[in-house]
Amino acid sequence: MQIYQGKSVYEGIAIGKIRVCKKGEQQARRIPVTDINGELERFHQAQEATIGQIEDLYGKAREEMGEGNAAIFEIYEAILTDDNYVNDITTLIKKNGYNAEYAVTVIKEKYLQMFAAMDDEYLKARALDIRDISERLLDALQGGKKSRIEDEESIIVLSEELTPSEALQLNLEKVVGFITVEGSLYSHTAIFAKTRGIPALINVDIGMDTSLDGKLAIVDGVGGHFYVEPKQDVLQECMQKLRTVKEEKQILLSQQELNSIYDKLKICICANIGNIKDVEALKDLNIKGIGLLRSEFLFFERKDFPTEEEQFECYKTVLEAMQGKHVVIRTLDIGADKQCAYFHMESEENPALGMRGIRVLLENRELFLTQIKALLRASAYGNLGILYPMITSMEEMTEIKEVLEQAKTELTREKNLFGTPTHGIMIETPAAALISDLLAKEVDFFSIGTNDLTQYTLAMDRQSSKLEAHYNKYHPAILRIIRLITENAHKAGIPVSICGELSADISLTEEFIKMGVDELSVAFGMIPILQKKLVELSK
């Protein structure tokens, strides 16, 4: 038995056969080219073929992994059509007479070195995307075609780090665990594992030895251990743990007592989702509703702005599927790390403190008005709450209400039916927290976005690897702010939800209950874990 240590991304136990996914980078030799125009045409044909593959992968990703994870393929397509990337390749073909394969390889290495030299962990992780795109271009130039990898049994994927397209080549229904030699909390493997609730370890000090392929292994996402060819007693112990987890999960998913537990603890659980497809995964979960539906997926999945009718149909579908349960849909939250290619936002030195959230919407009134009209119309078909992101002032609330009134006036004139949704705001800045007593009088509910609230309160970029040791999400200031927001909300008679990362942290669940937080909204993969915690606290 071999035991390896790693950093846990998603807690849980997984038992299966190892599937080694070793990088098979293609080697490209330099071959002198005499027909430059012909070689440029070869490259552009490969570029178009790769874009077609990416679009197919995007559709598959939406089906299998949800809109949030599928959005990476829009970034892939943006890179494939980026002037700098394309011009760098075509210049080597034109001026140096390089064959297309060699030109792509040279530029790939240039970009990989550039990203590797960056200090920011998030940007470093993007090097993997450049590698994946370039490898796909080379594959297209050489007439190949990536195919789906099928597996007949439960597998634990062992890789240096999985790219999104490699993940889609796996039969994800058979994947029970992920192990990566590299990776970070912002890596695609980490995101997939959290979204799908798959036990995973990153930074595991294990070689990419193909002789490991097919060997029995255990991923212990709780202790951070990876067992290869475990001893019988270790295997039996982990199998019992796995059976217990499955039994508890089944009990939690079916027991009606959860509603009484919600009442007893005066707190409930809702789901965060990023795609209309995710609604299907909520059917068997005993939740109060959707605490956060990110509407960005409607904008990121296309090459132009969605119409009012398109948005209306989508929102209506979600509301009808939830059968009267409360559904909170956040208006477009774009900017900072969330960009939309066709929106053409100006670059900023510090985008996290720039144009994002409600600021973008109020600067683009027609865009905002269209979304509000679609949401108001959809509210006639269910229990809708509209959530406004990145609020910092009372003046913004005044402007929002002006747009709301304009939307109602236009819908009335157009003889369109619309309902009366509730309205809430994201509290994710210290400014909003400190005037939450005033803001509470203007809305029907608060939703605390702890990810941004933490980084703005601590004045630390949460994606900076240099600050990782100092970034304390349990800082007393954060908990004091959450308590202040909750108290001010309740004084005004409105409920409070936490929808950021801290909402799924079971070490804080009891503290949130004591504060009086009304709702915890988490990724659906975390719902059974949080439900189990509530059951324990209710005893």
State how far the Cα of 512 lies from the Cα of 517, in Å rounded to an integer: 6
State how far the Cα of 129 lies from the Cα of 195, in Å rounded to an integer: 19
499 is an active site residue: yes
Across 334-350, b (16+ Cβ under 10 Å) vs e yields bbbebbbeeeeeeeeee
Helix 83-96 to helix 72-80 angle (10° resolution) is: 30
State how far the Cα of 373 lies from the Cα of 405, in Å rounded to an integer: 10
Q: Give the HSE-up count for residue 196: Cα atoms under 13 Å, Cβ half-sphere.
A: 24
Q: In what order do the strands lie in the sheet with 7-10?
A: 2-5, 225-228, 216-220, 13-21, 155-159, 175-180, 200-202, 7-10
Find out whether 18 and 158 touch, Cβ atoms under 8 Å: yes
Q: Which of 21, 188, 270, 326 is catalytic?
A: 188
State how far the Cα of 94 lies from the Cα of 494, in Å rounded to an integer: 65
Single-letter code of the amino acid located at 341: A
> Residue 299 is encoded by which pair of tokens?
């904008």
* Residue in the structure block whose two tokens are 């803001």: 439
Which residues are within 8 A (CB) of 52 and not within 5 positions of it... i.e. 6 or more apart? Answer: none
Please count the other Cβ atoms lying within 10 Å of the Cβ belonging to residue 85.
Answer: 20
First to last CA, the chain: 40
State how far the Cα of 419 lies from the Cα of 416, in Å rounded to an integer: 10
270 is an active site residue: no
Which residues are within 8 A (CB) of 415 and not within 5 positions of it... i.e. 6 or more apart? Answer: none
Which residues are within 8 A (CB) of 190 and not within 5 positions of it... i.e. 6 or more apart? Answer: 9, 183, 184, 200, 202
Q: 379: which DSSP letter?
A: G
| Residues with active-site annotation | 188, 499
